[in-house]
Each structure stands twice: as structure tokens, then as C-alpha cells.
Chain A
Amino acid sequence: MASATVASPAAPPPPHEVAAAPPMPDIMPPVKARRGVLGFLWRYPTIAIGGALLLLMVFVAVFADFLWTVDPTALAPARRTREPSAQYWFGTDMLGRDVYSRVIYGARVSLIVGFAVALLSSAVGLLIGLVSGFVRWADGIIMRVMDGMMSIPPILLAIALMALTRGSVRNVIISITIAEIPRVSRLVRGVVLSLREQPYVEAAIAAGTRTPVIIWRHILPNTIAPITVQATYICASAMIIEAILSFIGAGTPPIIPSWGNIMAEGRALWQVKPYIVFFPAVFLSVTVLAVNLLGDGLRDALDPRMAKRI
């Protein structure tokens, strides 16, 4: 609405005197139907739903100790493969461990891996992408290396990297981060290259702004939105890769419950005791869905072209 009344020449300036521009009452505060956080969530329901589900998962992971759980590693051979019941909500596995407790504690691994990989690969990818976008001679070399890494499926690359080390959550994070870095680097490089051609960057160069300041003031703030969106997708993808690594025994060590290794242990009994695989799978799916919904919502909200429909 604010732009509908744009510059209608209230009184056209006399042809060639000192052109006192017409008064401009058309600078109006943007009209918003609803303001504040609630209004924002109303306009982007995917963010609200995805965010709520993700917050729930974070809550579960943080307060796992207080959510009627028992020691997830406690063995009880006498009570193995029990069906879900009032005592064992999700049943017990073939070593008699409480599947509910294991799934709840497993959320910690998934979320830590997801968030850590998203943060680390975004940070490293941002740095590589900036260098690649600004240093002409480095660009060719860096991008060919990234192409090489991208030609290997991230899961295979992560498996190969895990094979070099011993299974631990830290090593899982490092392996998946390395596998995800090329995607962020490519994205940032693309954004940097297109931003460099923006007239406002050229105007800043003409205005004598030094390159580091241009990067800091004109390039970085405009890369944050696409990187944030990409980070959510990487977070989701990292959780899945972690589960796959753990499932095939190349990830989180069996001593730490993670959704991947719970499913791996239940796999042999899948035909007769499907609940051992079912519950961690549901949690994994819901968490990944939540992160992806959040990412979609953020993409819509942060894309400046979409932002115009205030």
C-alpha cells in the first residue's frame, strides 16, 4: 500500500525553475496487519510448526534425565524384547534395555550432531566461499577441489573419513562437516559473486571503501539469509547421515544410544519386534521434518523478494 501512492506529483514542478520537488507525504511507515513475534509466526506457519517441533526435541534432549527415563544402557537380559506397555512405553530391546529411554537420550546425539555440523560447516564454508569469491586465482583451485569432494556422495565421504578414525560423536561431527563444506562454499561463492556485481557494491568501491570493509558491510550481511536457510538443510541432512553412519556401525559407538544405532540393533528383529526400529525412526523423521519446515519458512521469510508482500 505504501508503494501504491509513489511519487504522484502532487504539484508538478514549474518546468524550469529551481525544481522544488513536491512535498513527499508518501513516505509512510510500512503497513503491517500483525506486528511482533506472533504476527510473524502467523504469516509463516511453517516456521511456527517447524520451530515448535524442534524446540520440543531440544527440550526432550536437554531434560532427558527428568522425563521418566531410566539408565538407557542398563542391561536386563531377563526382560528382553518386551512389547510396549505401561512400564516400558516403547518396549525393550534384545538386551532388555528400555527403548523409550534410549530414544529420548538418542535425541541428544542427533541434535548435537545436527547443530554442530550446521554451525561448523557454515562457518568454514563461509570463509572458503568468501576467499573463493574475492581472490580470483584461488577460485579455480578451491572450486575444483570442492567439485572433487562433491563428486563423492556425502555419506560415502563421511564413511571413508570415519574409517580413518575411531567412532566417537566428535569424529562423526568432523566427518559430516567435511562432507558438507562444499555445498556451503559453493552457495557463498555464488552469492558473493552476484553481490559483487550489485550496483551498491560498485558505488561503495567508487566511494573509496576498502575491500575488507566492503566484505564486512556490504557482502556479509547479505549472505546471512541464504546461509541460514542452507544451514537448516545441512542440519537435517547431518542428522540423517549420523543415523546412517550409526546404523552401519561407522558412527556413534554403541555405548552411546543414538537413533541410528538403536535401529541397527533392532534391525535383526524387525519382522517380529518392529517397535524397536519404529520409535527411533519416528523421532528421526519428525526431527528432520521439523528442521526442513523451519528451513522452508526461513527461506520464504528471508528472501527479500518474498519480503515485499508485507
Chain B
Amino acid sequence: MNAPVSDANRPLLEVSGLKKHFPLRGGFLGGVTGYVYAVDGVSFHINRGETLSLVGESGCGKSTVGKAILKLFDITDGQVVLDGRRIDNLPAGALRPMRRRVQVVFQDPFSSLNPRMRVRDILAEPIRNFGLARSRAELEERIAALMDKVRLPRDAVNRWPHEFSGGQRQRIGIARALAAEPELIICDEAVSALDVSVKAQIINLLQDLQQELGLALLFISHDLAIVEHMTHRVAVMYLGKIVEVAPKRQLFAAPRHPYTEALLSAVPVPMPGAQRERIILKGDVPSPINPPKGCRFHTRCPYAFDRCRAEEPPLRQTEAGHWAACHLHDLPAEQNPLAGAKGAAVLAV
């Protein structure tokens, strides 16, 4: 395999063709009766120091992508390459040192901290596991530095998780992720459970830490308003597939996939009197156990035509850095409702 030499030009993380099908068990000895196609062929990359947001409705598989990168389970197919080295097929022993480079912050600040461990022990765990401190004193020093980084009082390390508020617990969760000195942090709905004011604090903290430490973030969220605030690029997921990837400005100004367009139309505009054409999608998200044939979005797409029902559109580049999986872009521009800067007009209230 490649020697893990850091190359500034190479993406930090490359995910290609990632699939995760959860078996549905039933019957006498737990025979497999079907699969949940939670993630079904997802490819993207994250550069060093970059924030990529993974957005989509709940159940679209975005959290599964995060857990697959963390190798919390074996993936069905595809590759996860960290800094030029494939990590998805490593045995546990070889993977452990690589785990240091990718850490995670979870959504629920209550269940993400072991209720029976003090903050000190929670933070010491990754430091000890990865041998980052040579002595007891250095360990204490690192823990104190982590508390400073997430702006919690140093003497709070002797407390139990239940003594903290949600926002403070989320800071502890971030400190634990930082303890391993990672290059990439996966924020799995990391601010979704917090109050608005606390949410803003945590987001600002994440952004500051990103600049300070050159962290890359995979920001998994369903909240486009927050994504717009803090991301570099956005990947939109629908039913286990990425339907559009683009730099933030391009995606928000001119979405190239009808699903993205509909999602954006649902973001409230923080301006009184502002009007926006709201696109209401019909129906519910189809079941990932039995996803629709052809384009997975065709059952709810306002522009769907015959080809969409038969043929699955690949993710293709529509302009520099902007990828979308939609057959509309094969139509002549005057018939394509997503061509041009229509989206921009919609948003520029």
C-alpha cells in the first residue's frame, strides 16, 4: 500500500462508490429477508481544512455515510481512502492508528457522553489510546488545554456529564474529538439538538477550531440555514445517493437538481415580507428497502419525464466543480427548467 506521506494536493478523504446495505433479519435463525439500501453508491472527497456538508432529509443515509467512514460497521461495497491510504478494508489492529485522524461529534449531547465517567476520564481516553501523552503531567496538561480550546473552565474536568447543560456537553464532545488530534471531524447533526443561541456558539467554536487547527469537517445536517453559514461545499443526498455536489454559493444560487431546488425553497427567509416560490414535494420519501427504479427522485419530482422512470441518472458535471445527477441537463437549455440562474433569481429577495 501507499506510504502515508501527506500530500497537500491530495484530498484528505476520498469516498468512492460507498454502499451500505443493512440486512433485514427474520425467521427462525435470523435469516436475511431483504436489505435496507441505506447508502447506495456515494462518492465524494474532502480537502484538508475544508468543510463539506452532507444534507438531506432524515433517513436518506447521511449519518450512515459518517459511520461508514468511522468504520463503525463493515461497508457493503466501495472504498474509503484517507490521505491516500485505503482504510475500509484494514483489520482492526492496522486501523486503530488511522482512527486517530478521523473523529466524531454526535447529535445528542446526552447520550454521547458515558454517564458514569468524569469529564477528565472521557478526555483522557483517546489521549491514552493513541499514546499522545508520555506522562501523567502531560496528560493533565493536554486535558487542561482541551478545556481551554472549547472554552470550558479547567476545573470542570472533575465533574460528571449530567452536571452540564446541552451546549456544555457538546463542548465536551468536541474536546473529546480534538483530544485525538484529528485531521477530520465528522459532525453528525452536531448542533441539531441545541437551542438556537447555543447552536450559534457551537458553530462559531467549530469554525474557530477549524481555522486554528486546519481541521476538515464533514458536517452532516438537515438544516440548510446552518449549512449556508459554515460550509465550503455542499453534497445533497436523497435515498442513499448523492444527487448534487457543488460549492456553497453555486448550489444556493443555482441548484441543478430538482430536489435541491425544493429543499432550498423550504429554507425560511429571514426577512419580513420576503416572498419565495415554495416548491411543495408530493408524497413521502420512498422506502430505502424498495427504492424506485430509474431516478430515485422521479416519484416526487415535478419535472419527471419518461426517461427518469427507466434510467438512473449518473452524477455529472454541469459546470466547474458542480455535479448533479439529473436527466434534465441532457435536454436543450430552453426546455431545462434548471438551466441558467433561475435559482439565483428565486433567492435574491
Interface residues in chain A, defined as those with a beta carbon under 8 Å from any beta carbon in chain B: 2-3, 6-7, 9, 12-13, 16, 18-22, 24, 26-27, 29-30, 140, 144, 198-200, 202-210, 217-218, 221-222, 304, 308
Q: Out of A2, A13, A205, A222, which one reaches B201, CB within 8 Å?
A: A13
- Cα distance, A218 to B113, chains bound together (Å): 10
Residues of chain B whose beta carbon lies under 8 Å from any beta carbon of chain A: 29-30, 67, 70, 72, 96-97, 99-100, 102-104, 106-108, 111-117, 125-126, 129-130, 151-153, 156, 159, 162-168, 171, 173, 176-177, 179-180, 195, 197-198, 200-201, 204-205, 208
Does A9 contact B115, Cβ atoms closer than 8 Å? no
Query: Which residues of the other chain, A, contact B204 by a CB distance below 8 angstroms?
Result: 13, 16, 19
Q: Are B104 and A200 in contact (CB under 8 A)?
A: no
Given contacts A209-B129, A221-B116, 19 further A-B contacts (CB under 8 A): A13-B200, A13-B204, A18-B208, A24-B153, A26-B165, A27-B153, A27-B156, A29-B163, A140-B29, A199-B106, A202-B104, A203-B104, A206-B104, A207-B99, A208-B96, A208-B99, A217-B114, A222-B114, A222-B115
Some 17 contacts from A to B, beta carbons below 8 A apart, are A2-B163, A7-B197, A21-B205, A24-B168, A199-B111, A199-B112, A200-B111, A202-B70, A202-B72, A205-B72, A207-B103, A207-B129, A208-B96, A208-B100, A208-B180, A217-B125, A222-B114
CB distance from A73 to the nearest CB of B (A): 49
| Minimum CB–CB distance for A24 against chain B, Å | 7
A206 touching B125 by the CB < 8 A rule? no
**Known contacts A7-B168, A19-B208, A207-B129; A202/B176 CB under 8 A:** no
Residues of B within 8 A of A2 (CB): 163
The answer to whether A205 and B70 touch across the interface, beta carbons within 8 angstroms, is yes
Q: Report yes or no: B129 in contact with A208, Cβ–Cβ below 8 A.
A: yes
Contacts of B96 in A (CB 8 A): 208, 210
A210 to B130, CA, bound (A): 11
How far does the alpha carbon of A22 sit from the alpha carbon of B106 in the complex, in Å? Answer: 23
Closest to B116 in A: A221
Pick the contact of A199 from B99, B108, B116, B166 — CB < 8 Å? B108
Given B97, B103, B201, which contacts A206 in the complex, CB threshold below 8 Å? B103
In the complex with contacts A19-B208, A221-B116, A222-B116, A3-B29 CB distance below 8 A: no
Write out the residue numbers on chain A whose beta carbons fall within 8 Å of the beta carbon of B129: 207-209
Check A206/B72 contact, CB under 8 A, given A19-B204, A24-B153: yes
Kindly state the separation between the CA atoms of A203 and B117 in the bound complex, as whole angstroms: 14
Taking the closest CB of chain A, its distance from the CB of B321, in whole angstroms, is 25
- In the assembled complex, the Cα of A155 lies from the Cα of B96 at a distance in Å of 49
Q: Which residues of B have CB within 8 Å of A200?
A: 111-114
Q: How far is the CA of A205 from the CA of B200 in the complex (A)?
A: 29
10 closest cross-chain pairs (CB), A and B: A6-B165, A19-B204, A207-B126, A199-B106, A199-B112, A21-B151, A208-B129, A221-B116, A200-B114, A208-B99
Residue of A nearest to B25 (CB): A140
Q: A18-B208, A144-B29 are in contact. Are A27 and B111 (CB under 8 A)?
A: no
B70's nearest neighbour on chain A, judged by CB, is: A206
